Amino acid sequence: MTTPAPTIPGYALGDPSLTRSPVTLDDLARLRATLLLGDDDVAALRRSRDVLADQTEAVLDTWYGFVGQTPHLVAAFARRSDGQPDAGYLAAVRARFGQWILDTAEAAFDQRWLDWQHELGLRHHRAKKNRTDGVEAAEVVPFRDLVALTVPVVVTLRPFLAAKGHPPEQVEAMQQAWLKAVLLQVILWSQPYVRPGDF
């Protein structure tokens, strides 16, 4: 069961007003099978939630540090008026990103979760980017960056997964589960970028 976070502006997992994902639950099951994301991975994700729950701010510091030092990535948060990063926008996204860590670790892979992934994809794409926070930033997160960020997100997570003294094989299992879960989400977020009929 996903922990509710109704106090985070723009967070909408489970909101009945979300558009239903065009990806079906059967499609999702096939994707999970292709990614080898099975019950052992789900158990490892659940274990990682307890490991990461009190480290989310430190994880976000690492991720935001990477993005902030990479000009073509921080450009997604840049105001169109002057090309400078919008601090308010970065902060608003950060709050939801912290919840995303917990949501990933306890994903139900049900219709509610699938609809939220569709919404997140739209928010990265020009279809809905900037609307949630009412900003005038770059109009799209480039598809190539959306996919490429899978690596720094997962690789930099390892020290945090190891921080509570779990045996190396459990740390590895958690990281592999995160790799599969992040890649699954990025695939789902990619749907708005793909021509109809090609996804």
pLDDT in tens, 79-94: 999 999 999 999 999 9
pTM of the predicted structure, to 2 decimals: 0.95
Q: Is the pLDDT of residue 2 over 90?
A: no
Question: CA 192 to CA 196: how far, in whole Å?
Answer: 9
Q: Give the H or E element holding residue 41.
A: helix 39-52
What does the pLDDT look like over 159-188, one tens digit per residue?
A: 999 999 999 999 999 999 999 999 999 999
**Average pLDDT of every residue of the chain:** 96
Q: Where are the domains of the chain?
A: 28-193
Q: Is 169 exposed, middle or buried (0-12, 13-18, 19+ CB in 10 A)?
A: exposed
> What CATH number is given for 28-193 in this structure?
1.10.490.10
pLDDT digits (tens, 9 = 90+) for 96-129: 999 999 999 999 999 999 999 999 999 999 999 9
CB 142 within 8 A of CB 154: no
